[in-house]
Structure 1
Amino acid sequence: MKFAAIAAAGAVFAAANVAHAANPILPKLFTADPSAYVEDGTVYLYVGVDGASTTDKDYVMKEWRLYSSCDMKNWTDRGSPIKPSAFKWAIGKVDAWAADITKRNGKYYFYATVDHATIPGRAIGVAVSDKPEGPFVDARGSALVTNNMTLEAPIAWDDIDPGVFVDDDGQAYLYWGNTVLKYAKLKPNMTEFDGPIHTVGMDRFTEAPYLHKHKGTYYLSYSRDYPETTAYMTSASPTGPWQFRGVIMEKNAKVKTIHQAIIDFNGKSYIFYHNDKLPTGGEFRRSVAVEEFQYNADGTIPFIKQTKEGPTANPSSACK
């Protein structure tokens, strides 16, 4: 599973900036592309920071930022664990696009979308740290995925949105893509592929693949169509075959993207996403939010409405 981090409970409240928030949960910054994981009663939430002004016509994303919570209501700003400049082979200025994180053999691996400096197009790098708050350093010195490695789509941004998953047997997988869904097994070192890159044939896939497991079933959620809704498929295997299950979150009013992450925390299930609900929010000024949900009796995920209230407090033992 992608649930990993080790931190003393007192450290959750050590940082100065604590957001006591309903949705959006991080009201001081425009944030997007949430990635979340859990361990020892703490949620670690990584987001990209939207730095665009109200007149900018493109994303301005200079860093990823980390927040933590022990109750799903109060979020502590833990600073920036990594910036695109950590990848020296990347352009490294304003391209902190979607990322994901997991833990393996006592180290934290951060898979990130950046713009390659010499191979045209988006690329995926992997950084490593001994602590969830970083600092993270480039684990390879080169990209794990470059645009010339996947030729199924004639666009420069088809290698984005990495989602990393470690199964119960220890096998790790990386899913990613735009317009074409791709995946590959990872070696135990987490920095190399163990075999070929595979594609998954499916209609209306856009981006943001995210794999999680619940009661023995694999759930592959993703952004569908454009403007995007959140949909999902299920399987008895992390590599399919997949059964389409439906849309679980409707598209945003102003923002064309939505980008989900799904976790279990302290006996409850949650979905993170982004929308446009902060004042002056919009396409390039997004806001991370979260909702609680319950799986249906048959294991399917219900349709989840976006709310202003967000989830109720769910304090874990780490809060004490």
Structure 2
Amino acid sequence: MNPILKSNNYIPDVEARTMPDGKVYLYGSRDNPGDTEFCSTQYQTFSSQDLIHWQDEGTIFNSTDEIYGVNNGLTLGAPDCIYYEGKYYLYYCMYGNRMGVAVSDTPVGPFRNLGNITPADRQSIDPAIFVDDDGTCYYFWGQFHLQGGKLDKDMKTVIPETINSNILTEHEQGFHEGASIRKINGTYYITYTDISRGRASCLAYATSKSPLGPYKKRGIIIDNTGSDSEDWNNHGSIEMFQNNLYVFYHRSSQNSIYNRRVCIEPLSMDSDGNISEVHMTSNGVEDHFPANSPINVRHLSKMRLKLPFNSLIHPMSLMPRDNEEVLSYTKNQDWIQFNRVDLGKKCQKVEIDAASPKPMTVEFWIENNHKIGQITVNPTGSTWNIYKKFAGQIESTSGIHTIWIRFVSKDNAVGRLGDLKDFCFKEE
């Protein structure tokens, strides 16, 4: 389910790579929860054989530990990694537009520094690496305009005469940053962070018959607007796994542009190579939430966003609690959305785990603006950290549905309403 990693793992900017062992590995930056800057000094990777169960492979590179060959303490931005001629090459960027490469015998490191990338070092951010069918390596980098060229055999020198300095630009294709390169059915696909909808919230794609272009923008793959009150950027990749195409992207969380987490959605491609735009979902690559099982609020796919003129009011947001999360700062008429929830064959009851010093009503809606029931929440204590179970009857409903949960004030309560931890539909 989305987000795909446990609540305490904030891994954005992900390059998903299927390596020779058949597993998919996530190579991304790492946000420190609650911080006020993007990224950290570590890369932490995860692997999976099915895109559902993920193994934490630990730290693979750290700019504060001399065993990795870089001990400067600089923050590590978005990376990329490839397998090439028996070795794994991790391309990294650091604050100050530093760019380098590290090498390992395994996809999980430890990676040891080989040196800076010439001439990309100190020019920009966000490396992307691509190995073509003939074994030629290409290196791409850039923000606002994308550069790229052939990589020499030393794996750290971009051959000057091959460099294209304007593969994509912000004013022509909406290119903001975060390029990622794949080849599918003989066509080269660049996915990138797109700012054409006003914020850097989209992943777009462009295609070409040559690795270095010219590229034509084809459309948007996904937009993460609505996942959090403070969502800002998106960065990710597409990857073919077991003959199916997926997009890996990140969402903001916890009312912060920094606490970003990786999600997955399946993609479809038509016979002309067009990728259809997909919406964020709660279930991702899994078909649905099973009936009679509690659903934590961290799996919401969209929420009601704060209005521009309410900038001084704390918006509804997810907040960490133990190993899960709770939805806090709800207000009258706020709502959250969950996709593909199985209500079984005949569901007539719903339960929630909530905390509130005020009375409120929690409503449940499905498609076609149809309300199926509600729960009255009575005060649980004098603070927002005393949780109790509440239950209510719903209209007899079956099958898989999109669920909207709406919060409504009761008895003239104003301001912040109750916190919600999880909910569960139950068959009688």
Provide the residue aligned with 1:104 in structure 2: 84
Provide the residue aligned with 2:63 in structure 1: 84
Retained in 2: the 8 A contact 1:51–1:62? no
Taking the aligned partners of 1:307 and 1:187, their CA distance within structure 2 comes to: 41
Structure 2: stretches of 5+ with no match in the other structure: 288-428
Question: What pairs up with 1:43-192 in 2 under 5 angstroms?
Answer: 43-53=24-34, 56-85=35-64, 91-93=72-74, 95-115=75-95, 121-140=96-115, 142-144=116-118, 145-147=120-122, 150=123, 159-192=124-157
Residue 299 (structure 1) shift: 0.9
- How many residue pairs were aligned? 271
CA deviations 1:100-129 (Å, max 9, x no partner) are 0001111110000113xxxxx211110001
Please say if 1:31 is aligned against 2:11: yes
SS of 1:248 mapped into structure 2:
strand
- TM-score, normalising length from structure 2? 0.60
Residue 143 (structure 1) shift: 4.8
Q: Indicate the percent of aligned positions where both proteins have the same amino acid.
A: 33
SS of 1:288 mapped into structure 2:
strand
SS of 2:59 mapped into structure 1:
coil
Structure 1: stretches of 5+ with no match in the other structure: 1-21, 116-120, 151-158, 314-320
- TM-score, normalising length from structure 1? 0.80
Amino acid paired to 2:267: F
Provide the residue aligned with 1:40 in structure 2: 21
Retained in 1: the 8 A contact 2:140–2:179? yes
Equivalent of 1:263 in 216, 239, 242: 239
Retained in 1: the 8 A contact 2:193–2:200? no
Taking the aligned partners of 1:228 and 1:182, their CA distance within structure 2 comes to: 22
Residue 220 (structure 1) shift: 1.0
C-alpha distance 60-209 of structure 1, shift in aligned 2 (>3 A): closer
Larger Rg: 2
Retained in 2: the 8 A contact 1:84–1:114? no
Retained in 2: the 8 A contact 1:252–1:276? no
Amino acid paired to 1:92: G
Retained in 1: the 8 A contact 2:188–2:209? yes
Provide the residue aligned with 1:199 in structure 2: 165
Taking the aligned partners of 2:23 and 2:177, their CA distance within structure 1 comes to: 28
Retained in 1: the 8 A contact 2:100–2:117? yes
Retained in 2: the 8 A contact 1:68–1:76? yes
Provide the residue aligned with 1:214 in structure 2: 184
Provide the residue aligned with 2:281 in structure 1: 307
Retained in 2: the 8 A contact 1:161–1:207? yes
Retained in 1: the 8 A contact 2:28–2:80? no
CA deviations 1:141-172 (Å, max 9, x no partner) are x454322xx4xxxxxxxx11111000001111
Retained in 2: the 8 A contact 1:227–1:251? no
Taking the aligned partners of 1:135 and 1:70, their CA distance within structure 2 comes to: 21
CA deviations 1:219-270 (Å, max 9, x no partner) are 1111111333111111111111111101111143332111011111112111
SS of 1:25 mapped into structure 2:
coil
Please say if 1:252 is aligned against 2:252: no
Greater share of residues in strand = 2
Residue 82 (structure 1) shift: 0.7
Residue 89 (structure 1) shift: 6.3
Q: Which contiguous aligned blocks of 4+ residues in structure 1 show a shift greater than 6 angstroms?
A: none
SS of 1:57 mapped into structure 2:
coil
Residue 282 (structure 1) shift: 2.2
Amino acid paired to 1:229: C
Taking the aligned partners of 2:70 and 2:28, their CA distance within structure 1 comes to: 22
Taking the aligned partners of 1:288 and 1:67, their CA distance within structure 2 comes to: 11
Amino acid paired to 1:218: Y
Q: Which has the higher contact order (CA 8 A, sep 6+)?
A: 1
Taking the aligned partners of 1:48 and 1:281, their CA distance within structure 2 comes to: 19
Taking the aligned partners of 1:64 and 1:78, their CA distance within structure 2 comes to: 10
SS of 1:138 mapped into structure 2:
strand
Aligned-CA RMSD value? 1.9
